[in-house]
A and B are shown apart, each in its own frame.
Chain A
């Protein structure tokens, strides 16, 4: 079974631009979560999507948004980029059960550099 894939793997943008990252979950997984990893703040939860609906959200400004498609693929968008948005963005997928926490499997990440 193929793992979680993320594209692109590397991105360089300038302040003020916007960026879209893509994540394809493991086949059969309906939940996709996004995390930001920085040296200062560590790994932080951004949001989770299940059946095309945002089910949970972390403490990030509205510049960070996402969506999920009917095939469970997900995209996240960051508008008006700031230097502090430079990070490794990790996507994780899981079956998505609500009564039991499923194991989340992570993709290789997209490394975003904002200049």
Chain B
């Protein structure tokens, strides 16, 4: 069975600090996909990134960066120079191939609060 663990339930930092959100996953699939979504207070899940299991290259998008390490089954998300607008709940998710391709398994989420 697939499982995603986000050990940090809540994180609170002061604006401009860097913050890393941890994500550890479990799967028996050789091909799988990892995602991060952001959920602001409005409730809608906003897609941030998708990674497949064969692409371990780290990615940077502006102030956001992702570190995928297959050896430790982790897919961590770092926000550099955090801003108040980054405050939200962040979810890490996992899906497999075939019939399970469209079934996302989510972690419990990390509530990030950026204080001015």
Contacts and interface: CB of A to CB of B under 8 A. Distances in A.
Nearest to A109: B43
Contacts, number: 73
B62 interface: no
Nearest to B43: A109
A103 interface: yes
A81 interface: no
B35 A42 contact: no
Nearest to A4: B44
B113 interface: no
B103 interface: yes
Interface in A71-115: 88, 90, 92, 94, 96-109, 111
B108 A42 contact: yes
Nearest to A42: B108
Contact of B99 (A55, A96, A100): A55
B70 interface: no
B91 A48 contact: no
Interface in A20-59: 31, 33, 35, 42-45, 48, 50, 55-56, 58
A102 B102 contact: yes
A33 B102 contact: yes
Given A42-B109, A43-B91, A98-B98, A106 B37 contact: yes
28 contacts: A33-B102, A35-B104, A42-B106, A42-B107, A42-B108, A43-B93, A43-B106, A45-B105, A50-B102, A55-B102, A56-B99, A56-B102, A90-B43, A90-B44, A90-B45, A96-B102, A98-B99, A98-B101, A99-B98, A101-B50, A101-B97, A101-B102, A102-B101, A103-B35, A103-B50, A106-B47, A108-B42, A108-B43
Given A58-B103, A101-B50, 16 more contacts: A33-B102, A42-B108, A43-B91, A48-B103, A55-B102, A56-B100, A56-B102, A56-B103, A88-B43, A90-B44, A99-B101, A100-B101, A103-B47, A104-B102, A106-B44, A111-B43
